[in-house]
């Protein structure tokens, strides 16, 4: 984790309190916080930074579905981007859809001209985080990318890939339903394929809406229900393991319900790309005075 992220972090248990780095932390040669502890200004709350990853979950919180458990395993983290992910969209969309077609969408749609802080939610191996970090290297001004995931093995592998490319990306272990960032602190949010597996989707979307700036953007790739009976039966089987699928109409209703406005959307078979912006927050009405 890099120091520029620290000012925007909050304590999940005490969101109004600051997080401070304890003295004596180990700083890596490229400036990353490699080992140490983040302490909340409220009592009895601290979080470990180990090998550059800050952990807001701890060992007591275990996966809640078979799908999450699979992603929690080290072999899955190793295989994911080496074997499955490069071919996934081609298989799921029914047409050639490699990284050369998918990843440019991120830099084209995230409005990078002003720079800022960007978040890859449920980042897995950090594919989107790396793509955006490369694109931001050509943008003037201060910018930084953060990858958040529940699985520590996924984050470790994401870190390996980023270091190989010499990309300065911060990695944080946290839930998508409890993003440890201040309200309105994130200029752009990405999520690549994880919306179907994270469990409480509405809580995740509300968190994305909460952390986005007023002019922020959100780019989500996910899967929807297929129409073919065989594919529908297979999706129903995956549903037993905790993978959810919605119709396109149901998906868009969820976005609206949780304060995200649809700006653009593209569908390729079961694969959907969506660009969203936060709905305006209405000012509260003036309180009515009660006459004595």
Residues 9 and 85 in one domain: no
| Average pLDDT of the residues in 72-100 | 91
Residues 47 and 125 in one domain: no
- Checking if the pLDDT of 182 tops 90, the result is yes
The answer as to whether 222 is a domain residue is yes
Residues of the chain above pLDDT 70, percent: 92
Lowest mean pLDDT among 108-117, 212-221, 280-289: 280-289
Positive or negative torsion for Cα 48, 195, 251, 118 = positive
Residues 40 and 66 in one domain: no
Joined tokens for residue 199: 């469990």
Q: What pLDDT does 283 receive? A: 47
- Checking if the pLDDT of 181 tops 90, the result is yes
Angle among Cα 63, 65, 71 to the nearest 5 degrees reads 60
Residues 120 and 35 in one domain: no
Write out pLDDT tens, residues 187-205.
Answer: 999 999 899 999 899 999 9
Domains of the chain: total: 2
The answer as to whether 285 is a domain residue is no
Residue in 134, 133, 156 with CA at minimum distance from that of residue 146: 133
Residues 169 and 31 in one domain: no
- Find the domain containing 93 and state its range: 56-278
Cα dihedral 229/231/234/238 (nearest 10): -120
Cβ neighbours of residue 260 closer than 8 Å, sequence gap 6 or more:
205, 208, 209, 218, 276, 277, 278, 279
Whichever domain contains 263, its CATH number is 3.40.50.150
Residue in 118, 128, 265, 110 with CA at minimum distance from that of residue 194: 128
Residues 45 and 71 in one domain: no
How far, CA to CA in Å, does 38 sit from each of 19, 35, 47, 150? 6, 10, 5, 18
Rounded-to-integer distance, Cα 144 and Cα 118, Å = 6
The answer as to whether 288 is a domain residue is no
The answer as to whether 287 is a domain residue is no
Q: What pLDDT does 292 receive? A: 37
- Checking if the pLDDT of 286 tops 80, the result is no
Residues 13 and 119 in one domain: no
Q: What pLDDT does 243 receive? A: 85
Work out the pLDDT band at 226, boundaries 50, 70, 90: confident
| Average pLDDT of the residues in 44-54 | 92
Residues 184 and 224 in one domain: yes
Rounded-to-integer distance, Cα 46 and Cα 56, Å = 9
Residues 30 and 139 in one domain: no
The answer as to whether 27 is a domain residue is yes
Rounded-to-integer distance, Cα 202 and Cα 209, Å = 11
Work out the pLDDT band at 240, boundaries 50, 70, 90: low
SS3 192: strand
Residues 114 and 250 in one domain: yes
Question: Which of 31, 52, 73 represents a domain boundary (last residue)?
Answer: 52
The answer as to whether 69 is a domain residue is yes
Work out the pLDDT band at 237, boundaries 50, 70, 90: low
User: Which has more confidence, 180 or 227?
Assistant: 180
Question: Which of 32, 52, 72 represents a domain boundary (last residue)?
Answer: 52
User: Which has more confidence, 163 or 243?
Assistant: 163
Residues 23 and 94 in one domain: no
The answer as to whether 100 is a domain residue is yes
Asked whether the beta carbons of 126 and 161 are under 8 A apart, the reply is: yes
- Checking if the pLDDT of 43 tops 90, the result is no
Q: What pLDDT does 214 receive? A: 94
| Average pLDDT of the residues in 166-183 | 96
Q: What pLDDT does 17 receive? A: 82
- Checking if the pLDDT of 60 tops 80, the result is no
Angle among Cα 136, 54, 4 to the nearest 5 degrees reads 40
Rounded-to-integer distance, Cα 245 and Cα 234, Å = 11
| Average pLDDT of the residues in 221-242 | 77
Cβ neighbours of residue 159 closer than 8 Å, sequence gap 6 or more:
51, 52, 53, 126, 169, 171
- Checking if the pLDDT of 229 tops 80, the result is no
Work out the pLDDT band at 224, boundaries 50, 70, 90: very high
Asked whether the beta carbons of 116 and 143 are under 8 A apart, the reply is: yes
Write out pLDDT tens, residues 131-159.
Answer: 999 999 888 888 999 999 999 999 999 99
Asked whether the beta carbons of 81 and 127 are under 8 A apart, the reply is: yes
The answer as to whether 63 is a domain residue is yes
- Checking if the pLDDT of 7 tops 60, the result is yes
Rounded-to-integer distance, Cα 106 and Cα 130, Å = 11
Q: Output the average pLDDT for the chain.
A: 89
Residues 128 and 271 in one domain: yes
Work out the pLDDT band at 289, boundaries 50, 70, 90: very low
């Amino acid at each position: 984790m890099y120091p520029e992220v620290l000012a925007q972090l909050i304590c999940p248990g005490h969101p109004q309190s600051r997080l401070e780095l304890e003295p004596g932390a180990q700083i890596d040669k490229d400036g990353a916080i490699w080992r140490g502890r983040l302490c909340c200004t409220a009592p009895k709350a601290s979080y470990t930074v180990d090998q550059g990853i800050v952990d807001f979950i701890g060992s007591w919180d275990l996966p809640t579905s078979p799908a999450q458990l699979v992603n929690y395993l080290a072999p899955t983290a190793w295989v994911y981007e080496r074997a499955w992910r490069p071919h996934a969209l081609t298989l799921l969309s029914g047409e050639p859809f490699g990284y050369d077609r998918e990843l440019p969408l991120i830099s084209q749609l995230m409005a990078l001209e002003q720079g800022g802080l960007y978040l890859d939610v449920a980042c897995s191996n950090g594919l989107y985080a790396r793509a955006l970090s490369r694109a931001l290297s050509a943008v003037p001004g201060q910018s930084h990318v953060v990858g958040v995931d529940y699985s520590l093995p996924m984050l470790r592998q994401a870190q390996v890939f980023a270091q190989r490319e010499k990309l300065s990306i911060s990695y944080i272990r946290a839930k998508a339903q409890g993003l440890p960032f201040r309200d309105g602190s994130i200029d752009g949010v990405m999520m690549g394929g994880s919306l179907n597996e994270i469990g409480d989707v509405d809580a995740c979307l509300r968190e994305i809406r909460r952390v986005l700036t007023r002019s922020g953007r959100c780019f989500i790739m996910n899967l929807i229900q297929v129409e073919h009976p065989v594919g529908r039966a297979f999706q129903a089987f995956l549903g037993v393991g905790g993978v959810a699928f919605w119709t396109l109409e149901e998906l868009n209703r969820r976005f609206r319900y949780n304060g995200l406005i649809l700006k653009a959307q593209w569908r390729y078979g079961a694969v959907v790309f969506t660009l969203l912006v936060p709905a305006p927050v209405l000012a509260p009405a003036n309180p009515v005075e009660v006459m004595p």
